[in-house]
Structures are given as C-alpha cells and as structure tokens.
Amino acid sequence: MFDRRILLTTVAGLFGLSAFRWLRGTPAEAGEKAAEKFEITKTEAEWRAQLTPQQYEILRNHGTERPGSSPLLKEHRKGVFACAGCDLPLFASDTKFESGTGWPSFYQPIEGNVGKTEDRTYGMLRTEVHCRRCGGHLGHVFDDGPKPTGLRYCIDGFGLVFHPAAASAT
C-alpha cells in the first residue's frame, strides 16, 4: 500500500511538471523570436517615442486590443495594411474578410513579410505572427479561415496602419 502511494504520487508529480513545462514553453522556445534578427532594431525608449501607447502595447509587449476597438475593423477601401512599427506592407485589402471575431482578419499575408513563432501562453498552443522587418507582434493565425487558404490571420488593428490605394486616373 505504501509503495503504491509513492508510485502514484511520483507519477502525478512528473505529469504535473511536464504539463507545466509544456504550458510555459521551454527557454529555447521563449527566446526563439528574441534570437531572430530583424532589419529594424530600436531601443525600448525609441519604440515608445515612435509608437502610440496602444501600438507599443501590441507590437512590443504582445498585447491584445479589446474586440471591436480598432478603427481598421471596418476599413473596406482598397489598399494595403502595413506594420505600424516600420511601415512594411503586410496584408492586401483584398485578403481581408469579416470573421465576426472583433479583430481585423485576413486569409493571407503579403508573401515573405510575416513571420511565425509558437506561442504557448494561457495554456494554449497557438501560432503567433509578427512583422518580418521589425519583429512587432501582430496577432495569431488559425486554421478556420475561408478559401483559398483556410487560414484566419487574426490581427490586432492597432499594430497596423492603412494606406489607401492611389485613385486611378480616368
């Protein structure tokens, strides 16, 4: 009886430890994005001086805006959504769709401009997306989007700026 309790306690402890490590991620995973080299690097003071408080919270601290709070949620003009940190074009307006989530959603980024990392925060396994040029956090990508990709890039609108397409001469 005594040996069985020790065995069960040991097994439960090892299971709990491995679950904790999985939920928080390993140090290598935590530093994965930090180890990535970006074309644009600035000090935190420089980022704070350049960005609004909302932009800084999202792009630099991996924050999340309240659903429905971004003015870009209802932006339907033709143009490009770019990184608010470095102005790299990230999403074409024709890839934007209404997901009903309260965040601007796109089914495809501009090729090569959005990076991905594993995110294990909040006890979930998700794919975080960031700007390839400055490393700014943009949001997450999920596999419940529309055709043709089946992906939903759920993006914090305060991490973006919108550039309308130039009016064509008639």
Catalogue the active-site residues.
Answer: 154
Report residue 96 CA to chain centroid gap: 16
Q: In what order do the strands lie in the sheet with 152-155?
A: 96-97, 105-106, 152-155, 137-142, 126-131, 114-119
Q: Are 116 and 138 in contact (CB under 8 A)?
A: no
Q: Please, which residues have CB within 8 angstroms of residue 79's CB and are 6 or more apart in sequence?
A: 93, 162, 163, 164, 165
CA–chain centroid gap for 20, Å, is 23
Q: How many helices, marked H, and strands, marked E, lie in the chain? A: 5, 9
135 SS3 class: coil
